[in-house]
Amino acid sequence: MTRLVDALHALGLDGDISLSGRWVTLQGERCLVYVLEGPWGAGYYAWCDDPDERVVERYPDPTEAILAGLRRASRRDSGSDGERRTHS
């Protein structure tokens, strides 16, 4: 199991998990949330399929990426500025 899948299970969440375990899709309140484990320990990337929330954000921790993606998918007022935001 990957750290991403471990984090998903630790949070008690259900989602679609890729065969490799490096990609999960979750149903957020307003849209789907995608979380991807980057290659070679490059972090975790999260985004939402809402047109106003499609900014890809990087997180060092899989739990943080999952929770941030779900928060974005639950926003009523997106406030998206169209800029790429990176968390380290």
pLDDT in tens, 26-43: 999 999 999 999 998 789
81-85 long-range contacts (CB < 8 A, ≥24 apart) are: 82/55, 83/55, 84/55, 84/56, 84/57, 85/55, 85/57
Model pLDDT, residue 42:
87
* Spans of the chain below 70 pLDDT: 76-88
**Residue at 7 is within a domain:** yes
**Residue at 88 is within a domain:** no
Model pLDDT, residue 86:
45
Model pTM score: 0.81
- Total domains, the chain: 1
Model pLDDT, residue 41:
79
**Residue 11 domain boundaries:** 3-74
Model pLDDT, residue 1:
81
**Residue at 36 is within a domain:** yes
